[in-house]
Chains A and B, each alone.
Chain A
Amino acid sequence: MTTQNLIETNNLTKQYGSVRCVNSLHMQVPQGAVYGFLGPNGAGKSTTLKMILGLARPTAGSITLFGKPVNDKNRIGLLADTGSLIESPSYYGHLTGEENLHILQTLKGCPKEDIDEVLRIVRLNEARKKKVGHYSLGMKQRLGLAAALLGFPKLLILDEPTNGLDPAGIQEMRALICSLPSDYGITVVVSSHLLSEIDQMADHVGIIRKGELVYQDTLEALHSHAKQQIALRTDQPASVISLLHRDGIEVGKEDDYLLIPMIEDDYIAHLCRQLIEQNIALYRVEKREKSLEDIFLSLTGKESSL
Chain B
Amino acid sequence: MKTLKLEFYKIKRRKVWLTMFAMLLVQLLWGLWAFNNPKEWELESGWLSLLYSLSMLDGIMVPTMMSVLASRLADIEHKGNTYKQLETLRSAGSLYHAKAVCGCIIIAAMFAVQFAFFITLGYHLGYAGNPDVKYYLLSYVLKIASNISLFLLQLALSMLFANQMVPLVAGLGGSMAALLLMFVTNYSFLPWGGNLSAALVMSDWDETTRISTYYYRTFTSAETAAVIAIFIWITAFYVGGRIIFTHREA
B84 interface residue (CB < 8 Å to A): yes
A contact residues, range: 20 to 34
B133 interface residue (CB < 8 Å to A): no
Tell me which residues from 43 to 95 in chain A have a Cβ below 8 Å from any Cβ of chain B: 50, 53-57, 76, 79-80, 82, 84, 86-95
Asked whether, in the complex, the Cβ of A94 is within 8 Å of the Cβ of B89, the reply is: no
Contacts A55-B88, A104-B89, A107-B2 given; indicate if A50 touches B80 (C-beta within 8 A).
no
B side interface size, CB within 8 A: 25
Asked whether, in the complex, the Cβ of B88 is within 8 Å of the Cβ of A106, the reply is: no
CB-nearest residue of chain B relative to A53?
B88
Report the Cα distance A108→B6, complex, angstroms: 12
A103 interface residue (CB < 8 Å to B): yes
Asked whether, in the complex, the Cβ of A79 is within 8 Å of the Cβ of B85, the reply is: no
Asked whether, in the complex, the Cβ of A106 is within 8 Å of the Cβ of B2, the reply is: yes
A199 interface residue (CB < 8 Å to B): no
Interface centre among B80, B83, B87 (most CB of A within 10 A): B80
* B98 CB, nearest partner CB in chain A, Å: 11
Using a Cβ cutoff of 8 Å, how many contacts connect chains A and B?
A: 75
A7 interface residue (CB < 8 Å to B): no
Asked whether, in the complex, the Cβ of B89 is within 8 Å of the Cβ of A90, the reply is: no
Residue-wise interface mask of B (72-99) relative to A, using a CB-CB cutoff of 8 A (1 in contact, 0 not): 0000100111111111111100000000
Asked whether, in the complex, the Cβ of A103 is within 8 Å of the Cβ of B91, the reply is: no
Asked whether, in the complex, the Cβ of A107 is within 8 Å of the Cβ of B84, the reply is: no
A55 / chain B contacts, CB cutoff of 8 Å: 84, 87-88, 249-250
Asked whether, in the complex, the Cβ of B10 is within 8 Å of the Cβ of A103, the reply is: yes
Asked whether, in the complex, the Cβ of A92 is within 8 Å of the Cβ of B249, the reply is: no
B39 interface residue (CB < 8 Å to A): no
Tell me which residues from 1 to 17 in chain B have a Cβ below 8 Å from any Cβ of chain A: 2-3, 5-6, 9-10, 12-14
Asked whether, in the complex, the Cβ of B88 is within 8 Å of the Cβ of A79, the reply is: yes
Report the Cα distance A205→B80, complex, angstroms: 31
Residue-wise interface mask of B (55-80) relative to A, using a CB-CB cutoff of 8 A (1 in contact, 0 not): 00000000000000000000010011
Asked whether, in the complex, the Cβ of A103 is within 8 Å of the Cβ of B9, the reply is: yes
Report the Cα distance A102→B12, complex, angstroms: 13
Tell me which residues from 86 to 121 in chain B have a Cβ below 8 Å from any Cβ of chain A: 86-91
CB-nearest residue of chain A relative to B79?
A93
Cβ-neighbour of A95 out of B2, B10, B88 (below 8 A): B10
Sampled A-B contacts (5; CB under 8 Å): A50-B84, A55-B88, A86-B84, A92-B79, A92-B82
Show the binding face of B for A, using Cβ within 8 Å: 2-3, 5-6, 9-10, 12-14, 76, 79-91, 249-250
Closest 5 CB pairs between A and B?
A90-B85, A55-B250, A90-B82, A107-B89, A91-B80
